[in-house]
Each structure stands twice: as C-alpha cells, then as structure tokens.
Structure 1
Amino acid sequence: MKPDYIKDLETWKDEFQLFFPVSVRFSETDAFGHLNNTVSFVYFETARIEFFKETGLMQRWMSRTGENIPVTADLQCDYRKQIFFDEKLNIGVKVAKVGSSSLDLHYVILNENKEVCMTGRGSIVQVSKKTGKSSAWETDIKNILGNLVNL
C-alpha cells in the first residue's frame, strides 16, 4: 500500500539528496530478529538532527540566545521491507513543504541494495521558548528551508 504523501515511489525516492548511514545494532532488533518498529523513529530523528546541523539551523536553535526551538508535531512511518541485525542502511531526509512556522519533512530508509524498506513523513513546528506557541520562521531560515524543498 502506497502512502498518500507519495505519488510515485521511484520519483519520490530519487528526490532525496541527503543520506546518513546507519548499521543496525543487535539491541535494535526484537525477539523475531528484525528491527524493532520503534527504531525507525530514532533513525528519522538522527537524520533530522544531522540535516539541521548541516544547514546550520541546529546550532542556532541550541544557542542560549535563541528564542525559538523546533518541535515535532507529528511523525509517521510506513513499513515496506523487514530489516535485520547488522544491515547497512541509508536514512534519507528531505524538505517537502515549508509553511509560515512549520516544516514538512519526508524520510526514506534504504538497504544496501537501495531497496526502500521504510518511508516516513513528519511535521516540525517552530515554537517560541517564552510562549510555547508557534513562531513564524525568520526570513533567513525560511529562505534556507525554501531552497531545500524537493532538492
């Protein structure tokens, strides 16, 4: 079953430019020997944080003087192929859409044969540290993110 955020799987997969390698650890598998279903969300987080570091946004948000932080509003994973201990994976992340204070990210997990094992999507909202409410992207951040849409 194809998720509604993907029109054509191959075209969608080819749009990913940023990938982060991961090896499946024994502790990430379950009693059936395959990757535990919760670990995909950890992999998505890892790719998301590395993506934010590469764009310089993570450092800005982590600054003591930063007024805003990114918050995960929702996260979804669709499982397509089992993954087992010691498999070498590549976790892809891309910007799908930039809103006034939100960001939609898409994720893909590929095995060594470049087969799609999992797909995912999630929304990030920039939130004010002071008010706890959504806060519009600063112009420079919106420009950085806008330039990354479907690269």
Structure 2
Amino acid sequence: MRAAYIQEPQEWVAGFSFSTTVKVRFSETDMYGHVNNTKVFAYLEYARIEYFKALGFDFSNDSGNQNMLVVADIQCDYLNQVFFDETLTIYVKTASIGNSSMDLHYLVKNEKGDICYTARGTLVQLNYSTGKGVPFLEEQKKLLLGK
C-alpha cells in the first residue's frame, strides 16, 4: 500500500471492524470488463451510509435532524483491477474526528482477500438551513470512535 494516509499497513488494516459487501454489476464495467474508476466512489458512498446506519445515525426525514454530512474531499488509490460479477468487501472506519468534520478510511478487498482499493475522505456536518458547520455531539464522537 502506497497511500500517504497509511502509516503502518498491518495496523491500519487491523483497525477496521465494520464491513459490507457489493456485487459488481455489468453496467459498472468498461469495455475491458473491469470496474470503471468512477464507480468505486458509489461503492464507497454505499459503505459509508451502511456504516453510519450501523452506528445508529438516522437519515430519515422524519427524525427532525437539521444536520447533514457532506463529503468535503475524497480520494482513492487503485491497487488491483476488479471485474464484473466479483463480490467486494468494503471496510469503513473513522480515522479521526474534529469539531464538525471527520476523516473516514476505506479498504476494499475482493473474494480472494486481495486489497483492490484504499481510500480516505473528509466529511463535514452542516446545518440544512444555514449551510454552516455544526459541532458533533459528544455522544456522536463516541459512536464514531468506537468508545
């Protein structure tokens, strides 16, 4: 792994506890049969939402929540090709959390256990009405950091 956000690869991989799976659809591949590089970000989005749901975050309109999480930046490192009909396991963890932002890390493996992608991204919690940053509650921070 060559990504600058990964200091100790074995320790970094061992730090993931949440995962979900996706199956590569034909429409997500290019003329060579491998996953189009832009589709990986949809996989990361799916895993991120599943991660937050598993932590108990409520995304329904009925919750009365006036805040939203917005992706501020995201990057992906492509390590191995992925092809149609493969099942990918996507791991997500909170790498760090600030006042109103957090850094998530992602690890994507194929069925053989090979690492295909690593990624990281910053999310910011904003208020729907004002568009301004909103600090995370202490309870949210504990959930996000697994404490």
Alignment-derived partner of residue 141 in structure 1: 140
Amino acid at match of 1:96: A
Deviates more, 1:19-28 or 1:60-69: 60-69
Counting only pairs closer than 5 Å after superposition, residues 1-150 of structure 1 correspond to structure 2 as 2-57=2-57, 59=58, 62-147=61-146
Deviates more, 1:6-15 or 1:41-50: 6-15
Deviates more, 1:62-71 or 1:108-117: 62-71
What is the SS of the residue equivalent to 1:94?
Answer: strand
Task: Call closer, same or farther: CA 1:65–1:23 in 2, change over 3 Å.
Answer: same
1:11 Cα deviation (Å)? 2.3
Amino acid at match of 1:42: A
1:95 Cα deviation (Å)? 0.6
- Mapped to 1, the partners of 2:59 and 2:81 lie a distance apart of 37
Amino acid at match of 2:32: F
Please give the root-mean-square deviation of Cα atoms over the aligned residues, in Å: 1.5
1:146 Cα deviation (Å)? 2.7
What is the SS of the residue equivalent to 1:27?
Answer: helix
Task: Figure out how many residues of one structure are paired with residues of the other and give that number.
Answer: 147
Structure 2 unaligned runs (5+)?
none
Identity %: 45
1:12 Cα deviation (Å)? 1.3
Structure 1 unaligned runs (5+)?
none
Alignment TM-score, normalising by the size of structure 1: 0.91
Q: Deviations over 1:94-133 (max 9, x none)?
A: 1100111011100011011111000000011000112101
- Where in structure 1 do 4 or more consecutive aligned residues deviate above 6 Å? none
What is the SS of the residue equivalent to 1:142?
Answer: helix
Task: Call closer, same or farther: CA 1:89–1:134 in 2, change over 3 Å.
Answer: same
